[in-house]
Amino acid sequence: MNTPVPLAPPRRLVDVTVDGQEVRVPEGATIMQACAQTGVSCPTLCYGDTLTPKNACRICVVEVEGARTLAPACSRPVEPGMAVRTDSDRVRHARRTVLELLGSSVDLSTTPQAQEWMEHYDARPERFGPRAAPAPMGERDARRAGEHEPPTGAVAETVEQPAKIDNDLYVRDYGKCILCYKCVDACGEQWQNTFAIGVAGRGFDARVSTEHDVALPDSACVYCGNCIEVCPTGALSFKSEFDMRAEGTWDESRQRQTTTVCTYCGVGCNVTLHVQDNEIVKVTSPHDNPVTHGNLCIKGRFGFQHVQQRRHD
Amino acid sequence: MDLRFLDAVPDSLEREAVDAVLGPAESGWDGGERRAGDLRYARGGHAARARRDLLLPALHAVNDRTGWISPAALDYICRRLTVPPAEAYGVATFYAMFSLQARPARVVHVCTDIACAAKGADRIRAELAERLGPPGDASGEQAGAIWHESPCLGLCERAPAALALEAGSPPRFAVAAPARAEDIAALMTPPPVDTTPSNGHRPATTFAPSPLSGGTVEPAPSAAVPQAGVPGLVLLRRIGVVDPESLDDYRAHGGYAALRQALRLGPAGVIREVVESGLVGRGGAAFPTGRKWEATARQPASPHYLVCNADESEPGTFKDRVLMEGDPFSVIEAMTIAAYATGAEKGYLYIRGEYPRALSRLENAIARARGRNLLGRDILGSGFDFDVEIRRGAGAYICGEETAVFNSIEGRRGEPRSKPPFPVERGLFGRPTTINNVETLVNVLPIMLMGGPAYARIGTGGSTGPKLFCVSGTVSRPGVYELPFGATLRDLLELSGGVAEGREIRAVLLGGAAGAFVRGDELDIPLTFEGARAAGATLGSGVVLVLDDTVDLASILVRIAAFFRDESCGQCAPCRVGTVRQEEALRRLAGGSASRRTELRVLRDVGAAMRDASICGLGQTAWNAVESAIDRLGVFAAPTTDTTEEAR
Ligand SMILES: Cc1cc2nc3c(=O)[nH]c(=O)nc-3n(C[C@H](O)[C@H](O)[C@H](O)COP(=O)(O)O)c2cc1C
Ligand code: SF4
Ligand code: SF4
Ligand code: SF4
Ligand code: FES
C-alpha cells in the first residue's frame, strides 16, 4: 500500500567510449560530463557552470565517430554507443586554430589558462601577421552589417579598442572580449532579467552593446555585476581590479578569499571577498550555492566600501 | 519585464508606420497616451511579449517609411512589443538593409558579387566612386540618395545589377540591370521630399507598383527564362505563359489541380507520393523531402508550422525569384499541399528583402487565394484550414540557414541554432516545423499530378525529377534553365550558348559561393547530386557560374572571401575570425607580395578548422570554393615547376 512514489524516473544509463575508454553516464549527459568521468578534461571558454551552453567558442570540440563535423563537448548530449576522441589530429588542429584565431584577434592576457592551452596545442597566433592598431573608441560600435573596409592583409584585424569606463563600479574592456555570450545570457533571461546588454552587429563586427551604445548609467544596467561573475576573459572587471592592473599592483598571489554572508537583506547571499593588502579588491559569489548560483545584487557585489572606511588622520 | 526605455519621442510618421503593423497602442503601458486608468493595472507577462515576432515587420515599417530607424522609433517599437531596447538594437543592427543612422530616403544597392564582377562590376564601382563619392557617403552632391556595394542581388542573368529602394508611403523600388554607371547615377537623383502622412491607408502590396523616378520598367520574369514557352517544361511551364497576377489565368493553366488531387489523397497519401517521387531538397542540402514531411507529420506536439525558404541569397542563385515573380500562385498552392500533408495550419514565407517585385506578386497571390477560399478556413470545403504570412528578410545571407530563418521570424538575431534538436522536432516557435525551399515545394505540384513513381522516372536513380539551373557569368544566354537530372554540364552550357567566340572557359562555379569550381575541361560532369559529388563538387542551389579566360580569378576569390566575412553571423569563433583571416591571406596572395607557401598553409589550416568546428553550413563551407580554386584550377600555383611541392 505504502509504495514510495519516485520523484523522477530513474535516468537510463548510456554506454559511450572516450578515447577508447568505456564509460557509463546518465542519458542526457553531455560529452564533457562523460569525459570528466574518465578523467579527460576539455578546454572551455564559453561554457559556464551556471548557464545553458551557447557552444559558440568551439574550443571544446571533439571527434564523434561517424560524424561529418566535430561536436562541442560542452553541450552535445551523449548517445548510446557514441565513440568520442578528444585528442585526434582533427581535434588538435581545430583547437589549435581556434586558439590562434582568438589569440590573434582578442587580447587574451587576462584569460585564465589561455597561455597554457596555447603552449599545449602549439598555437601561434602571430602567424597571421602583425596586429592591427586598436580601433578608436566608438568605431566598432558604428560599423554596419554587411560591409567592411577591404583589408590589405598587411596586418591582422583585431577587436581591440579602448576600454569603456563610464561608471565607478566596473569596466567593459571589449578588446578582451571573445564574444562568448555569457554576460548577455546572465544579464538577460537566464539570470538577471534586466536585458541591459545584447549582441549587436554581425560577423567580426558583432559586439556586446547597450542600445545605441549608450553609456551604462543611461542603460537598464542595475550593477548586479552578474556579468562580471561569468565573464571568462577579464573583459568585464571591477573598476578596482582594472585600476590596479593598470598601475601594476594587481597580484593574485597576495590575495585572500573569504566567503561570508551578505548582511544587507534577508536573502542572505554568499559573498566571497577578495582581499589584497587588507583592502577588498573584488567580490565574487560561489556558483555552487543552490539558491543564488553566483548571482548577487548591487549591494552584495559593490557595497563593501563601508567595511573599509578608515580614519586617515 | 521591467524595461527601461530612452524616453525619446517618435515623430508622427514613425508612429504611424509602426501602428500600421501593430495596430494602435492600447494604453500608456505600450507606448500610447497615458491615462489615469493605466495606473490601476500592470501590463506584462506572456500577453505583452507574445508578439515578439512582429519586431522584424515593425522595423521594416519604419525603415520603409523614413529610410532609417531612429532611436525614438526603436524605442516606440520596444514599448509596443515589450522588447528590451538592447535586444531590439541587436536585432536591427544584424541586418544590412536597416540603418540606425539617419540617411537619405533612397538607397542604391550596387551588386559587386561574383556574377556581376564577371560582367564588369568593378569598373562600375570605380566609376561610381569617382562620380558620387565613396559608398555610404551622403555628404556630397547626391545628398538625396546613397549607394552601397551589395552582395548578390539575385539578378545575375542581367548582370551587372543595381537595386534602388526608396522609403516613403508607399516605398518604391527600381532595378537597373544590366546597368551602366550612368543608369545607376540616374537612380541616385534625389527624390522629392515626402512627408505626407498616409492616413492609415494600407495598399494591397508593400511596394508601389510603378518604379521610382529615374528607374525603368523591368523586363517580365520570362526574360530570365530562355526556354520560356518550350513544350515539355515542368517547373517553368507557366512562366511567360500565364499572367502572374491573375488567379483565373493560373487556374486556366492547370493551377490548383494539384491541391484537389492532394485533398483526394489525404495527408498520408500525399506523403507517400512525395516519398515515392524521390524528391530531395533544392535549397542546397539535398535532404529527402518525403522523409522530412513524414517526420513532422508524426510529431505529437502542436501546432505544426510550415516555412517556405525564399531567402535565396546564395551568390549566383535566382531561380526562386523567377518562380515567385513568374508563377507566384504555384508557390502558394504548393505550400498549401505541404501544410496539408504535415498538419500545419500556418505557413510563413520568408523572402529576402532584396526581392521587392517577387514580394508584390506573392502578396497579390495570397490576397487573391484568400478571396477564393484557397487559403483560410475550410479550404475548398475540405475542412482543412491554412493561411500564409509573408516575412521579409532585411539583408542577411545567413537567414537562409534553416534555423536562422526561425530566429529571424521570431524577432531574434538571425543566428543559426545548434542541432539537434532538428526543425521537425523543434523548429519555429519551438514547434515541429517543415522548412522547404521554393523550388522543392513547386516540385510537389507535378508529383501530385503525375504521381510519385512517374516523377521518379524523370532524371537518374539517385536524383529524380527536373532541376532548375541558374546559369550566369560570361555565357551568351544566361538565365534559369530546366533540365531533367542527368544532363551534363556541357549540355547545359550548349543550351546557354557557351562563352563568346575565341574565349575559353576558365572555370565554372557550381553551387555558389558555398560550392566549388570545376575546370573548363571537366564539362562531362553529370548534373546530378551523385555525379557532382563524385567529381568533388556540389550542385548546391543549382548555380552554374561561368568564368571565361578574361576574368581575374584571384579577385573573384577575394570577393568570395569578403562575402563570407560580411555574412558570417559572428556567433562562433572559427567562422567569425576565420573568414577574416581567409580574406586577409587571399588579399596578400592576390597582391603577389606574400610567400605562397606560408599563405596557402594559413588558408588550409583556417579552412579545415572552419569546416570542422563551425556551428553551421556557412562556416563549414566558407573555404570550399577557395580550396577548389587552389587545388583544381591551380590559382596561386607556382609559376615554375615546383607546383606539387609548393602548392601543398
Ligand atoms: C548559410 C546558409 C544559407 C542558406 N540559404 C538558403 C536559402 O537562401 N534558401 C534555401 O532554400 N535554403 C538555404 N539554405 C539551406 C537551408 O538550411 C535548408 O537546408 C533548406 O531550406 C531546406 O529546404 P529543402 O530541403 O527544400 O532544400 C541555406 C543553408 C545555409 C547553411
Ligand atoms: S564581455 Fe566577457 S562575458 Fe561578455 S561576451 Fe565578452 S568575454 Fe563573454
Ligand atoms: S546580494 Fe543583494 S539580494 Fe543578496 S543578500 Fe545581499 S542585498 Fe540581498
Ligand atoms: S558558422 Fe558562421 S554563420 Fe554559422 S553560426 Fe558560426 S559564425 Fe554564424
Ligand atoms: S566551451 Fe564548448 S563551445 Fe565553448
The domain boundary residue, chosen from A228, A248, A268: A248
Instruction: List CB contacts (< 8 A) between A72 and chain B.
Output: 418
Domain that holds residue A184: 136-248
Establish if A104 touches chain B: CB-CB under 8 angstroms.
yes
CB within 8 Å: A61 and B612 = yes
A152 and A220 share a domain?
yes
Alpha-carbon separation of residue A122 from A72, A92, A96, A99, A156 (angstroms): 21, 9, 7, 9, 19
CB within 8 Å: B568 and A203 = yes
**Nine-digit cell at B553?**
580569378
Structural domains for chain B = 12-92 (no CATH), 106-189 (3.40.30.10), 247-455 (3.40.50.11540), 458-548 (3.10.20.600), 553-632 (1.20.1440.230)
A21 and A72 share a domain?
yes
A21 and A115 share a domain?
no
Distance B575 CA to ligand 4 centre (A): 6
Are A196 and A210 a contacting pair, CB within 8 Å?
A: yes
Establish if A188 touches chain B: CB-CB under 8 angstroms.
yes
Helix (H, G, I), strand (E, B) or coil at B624: helix
Residues 6+ apart with CB under 8 A from A87: A19
Distance B507 CA to ligand 4 centre (A): 28
- State how far the Cα of B235 lies from the Cα of B224, in Å rounded to an integer: 14
What's the average model confidence in pLDDT over B583-593? 94
CB within 8 Å: B580 and A151 = yes
> Given pLDDT bands bounded at 50, 70 and 90, which one contains residue B644?
very low
Residue A29 lies in a domain: yes
Give the pairing type, strands B466-473 and B543-548. parallel
Give the minimum alpha-carbon distance from B306 to chain A in angstroms, rounded to a whole number. Answer: 26
Residue A191 lies in a domain: yes
Residue with cell 508593400: B206
Residue B485: CA atoms inside 13 Å, Cβ hemisphere, count? 23
Give the predicted TM-score (pTM) of the model. Answer: 0.95
Residue B319: CA atoms inside 13 Å, Cβ hemisphere, count? 31
The pLDDT value given to residue B643: 44
> Given pLDDT bands bounded at 50, 70 and 90, which one contains residue B642?
very low
Residue with cell 552593446: A209
The pLDDT value given to residue A63: 98
Return the residue whose CA atom lies nearest to atom 7 of ligand 2: A177
Asked if pLDDT for residue B190 goes beyond 90, the answer is no
Give the minimum alpha-carbon distance from A213 to chain B in angstroms, rounded to a whole number. Answer: 9
CB within 8 Å: A179 and B413 = no
**Nine-digit cell at A172?**
567593459
Give the pairing type, strands B145-150 and A198-200. unpaired
Question: Minimal CA–CA distance to A147: which of B290, B386, B149, B571?
Answer: B149
Burial class (CB in 10 A: 0-12, 13-18, 19+), B462: middle
A67 and A113 share a domain?
no
Residue A171 lies in a domain: yes
A69 and A98 share a domain?
no
Instruction: List CB contacts (< 8 A) between B396 and chain A.
Output: 145-146, 202
Distance B306 CA to ligand 4 centre (A): 24
Residue A20 lies in a domain: yes
The pLDDT value given to residue A147: 95
Asked if pLDDT for residue B219 goes beyond 60, the answer is yes
- State how far the Cα of B158 lies from the Cα of B468, in Å rounded to an integer: 17
Candidate from A69, A75, A195 with C-beta closest to B86: A195
Which of ligand 2's atoms lies nearest the C-alpha of A178?
Answer: 7
Domain tally for chain A? Answer: 3
List, for chain A, all residue ranges whose pLDDT scores fall below the cut of 50: 1
> Given pLDDT bands bounded at 50, 70 and 90, which one contains residue B44?
confident
Candidate from A144, A152, A204 with C-beta closest to B577: A204
Residue A154 lies in a domain: yes
The pLDDT value given to residue B647: 42
Distance B536 CA to ligand 1 centre (A): 20
Candidate from A69, A188, A211 with C-beta closest to B85: A211
Q: Give counts: helices (H), strands (E), chain B.
A: 25, 13
- State how far the Cα of B597 lies from the Cα of B261, in Å rounded to an integer: 61
The pLDDT value given to residue B389: 98
Q: Which residues 264-293 in chain A show a CB within 8 A of chain B?
A: none
Are A76 and B421 a contacting pair, CB within 8 Å?
A: no
Asked if pLDDT for residue B648 goes beyond 70, the answer is no
Residue of B296, B313, B317, B401 with the most ligand 1 atoms within 8 Å of its CB, for mutation: B401
The pLDDT value given to residue B49: 84
Asked if pLDDT for residue B140 goes beyond 90, the answer is no
Which of ligand 4's atoms lies nearest the C-alpha of B567?
Answer: 3
Out of B24-33, B260-269, B476-485, pick the least confident.
Answer: B24-33
Instruction: List CB contacts (< 8 A) between B577 and chain A.
Output: 101-102, 104-105, 204
Candidate from A97, A151, A179 with C-beta closest to B587: A151
Candidate from B89, B96, B570 with C-beta closest to A204: B570
Residue in chain A nearest B617 by alpha carbon: A69
A192 and A152 share a domain?
yes
The pLDDT value given to residue B645: 44
Residues in chain B, overall count: 648
Report angle CA B354, B248, B221 to the nearest 5 degrees: 30
Instruction: List CB contacts (< 8 A) between B100 and chain A.
Output: 212
What's the average model confidence in pLDDT over B179-197? 76
Residues 6+ apart with CB under 8 A from B541: B282, B283, B284, B312, B314, B317, B319, B437, B470, B511, B512
CATH number, residue A77: 3.10.20.740
Q: Which residues 57-76 in chain A show a CB within 8 A of chain B?
A: 57-59, 61, 69-70, 72, 75
Residues 6+ apart with CB under 8 A from B151: A146, B111, B113, B313, B315, B397, B563, B566, B567
> Given pLDDT bands bounded at 50, 70 and 90, which one contains residue B514?
very high
Distance B407 CA to ligand 2 centre (A): 22
Give the minimum alpha-carbon distance from B358 to chain A in angstroms, rounded to a whole number. Answer: 23
Helix (H, G, I), strand (E, B) or coil at A275: strand
Are B579 and B619 a contacting pair, CB within 8 Å?
A: yes
- Contacts A–B by Cβ distance under 8 A: 207
Residue B296 or B203, more confident = B296
Residue A281 lies in a domain: no
Question: Minimal CA–CA distance to A125: which of A108, A143, A150, A146?
Answer: A108
Residue B187 or A239, more confident = A239
Residue B141: CA atoms inside 13 Å, Cβ hemisphere, count? 9
DSSP letter at B246? -
Phi, psi of B180 (to 5 degrees): -100, 165
Are B74 and B85 a contacting pair, CB within 8 Å?
A: yes
Residue with cell 543611461: A218
Helix (H, G, I), strand (E, B) or coil at B635: coil
- State how far the Cα of B386 lies from the Cα of B199, in Å rounded to an integer: 31
A106 and A148 share a domain?
no
Among residues of chain B, what percentage have pLDDT more than 70? 95
Give the minimum alpha-carbon distance from A99 to chain B in angstroms, rounded to a whole number. Answer: 9
CB within 8 Å: A94 and B90 = no
DSSP letter at B507? E
The pLDDT value given to residue B202: 57
Instruction: List CB contacts (< 8 A) between A193 and chain B.
Output: 1-2
Amino acid identity of residue B561, one-letter, is: A
CATH number, residue A172: 3.30.70.20
Distance B459 CA to ligand 5 centre (A): 44
Q: Roughly what angle, to the nearest 10 degrees, separates helices B328-342 and B356-371?
A: 60
Residue in chain B nearest A178 by alpha carbon: B573
A179 and A214 share a domain?
yes
Pocket of ligand 1 (CB under 6 A): B 281-285, 287, 289, 309, 311-314, 397-398, 400-402, 435-437, 440, 616-618
Question: Minimal CA–CA distance to B82: which of B58, B60, B56, B50?
Answer: B50
Phi, psi of B344 (to 5 degrees): -105, 140
Are A143 and A202 a contacting pair, CB within 8 Å?
A: no
Distance A297 CA to ligand 3 centre (A): 5
A141 and A239 share a domain?
yes
DSSP states along B396-446:
-GGGGSHHHHHHHHTTS--PPPPSSSPTTTS-GGGS-EEEEEHHHHHHHHH
CB within 8 Å: A209 and B569 = no
Candidate from B85, B570, B613 with C-beta closest to A58: B613
Phi, psi of A299 (to 5 degrees): -70, -50
The domain boundary residue, chosen from A128, A154, A182: A128
A194 and A212 share a domain?
yes
DSSP letter at A169? S
Give the pairing type, strands A61-64 and A71-72. antiparallel
Residue B593 or B464, more confident = B464
- State how far the Cα of B580 lies from the Cα of A156, in Å rounded to an integer: 9
* ω into A43 cis (within 30 of 0): no
The pLDDT value given to residue B142: 56
Residue in chain B nearest A158 by alpha carbon: B577
Pocket of ligand 4 (CB under 6 A): B 398, 416, 568-572, 575-576, 614-616, 618-619
CB within 8 Å: A104 and B581 = yes
- State how far the Cα of B420 lies from the Cα of A222, in Å rounded to an integer: 35
**Nine-digit cell at B485?**
537530372
A146 and A239 share a domain?
yes
| B interface test, pick of A86, A98, A204, A205 with most B CB neighbours within 10 Å | A204
| B interface test, pick of A97, A107, A149, A184 with most B CB neighbours within 10 Å | A97
What's the average model confidence in pLDDT over B411-433? 97
The pLDDT value given to residue B199: 54
The pLDDT value given to residue A282: 97
Residues in chain A, overall count: 313
Q: Is the CB of A102 under 6 A from ligand 2?
A: no
Are A198 and B86 a contacting pair, CB within 8 Å?
A: yes
The domain boundary residue, chosen from A248, A280, A301: A248
A35 and A111 share a domain?
no
CB within 8 Å: A69 and B396 = no
Candidate from A93, A188, A205 with C-beta closest to B609: A93
Residues 6+ apart with CB under 8 A from B633: B506, B507, B517, B519, B553
- State how far the Cα of A60 lies from the Cα of A296, in Å rounded to an integer: 29
The pLDDT value given to residue B136: 86
**Nine-digit cell at B211?**
518604379
Give the minimum alpha-carbon distance from B498 to chain A in angstroms, rounded to a whole number. Answer: 33
- State how far the Cα of A204 lies from the Cα of A101, in Å rounded to an integer: 11
Residue with cell 546530378: B528
CB within 8 Å: B573 and A101 = yes
Instruction: List CB contacts (< 8 A) between B88 and chain A.
Output: 211
* Average pLDDT over all residues of chain B: 93
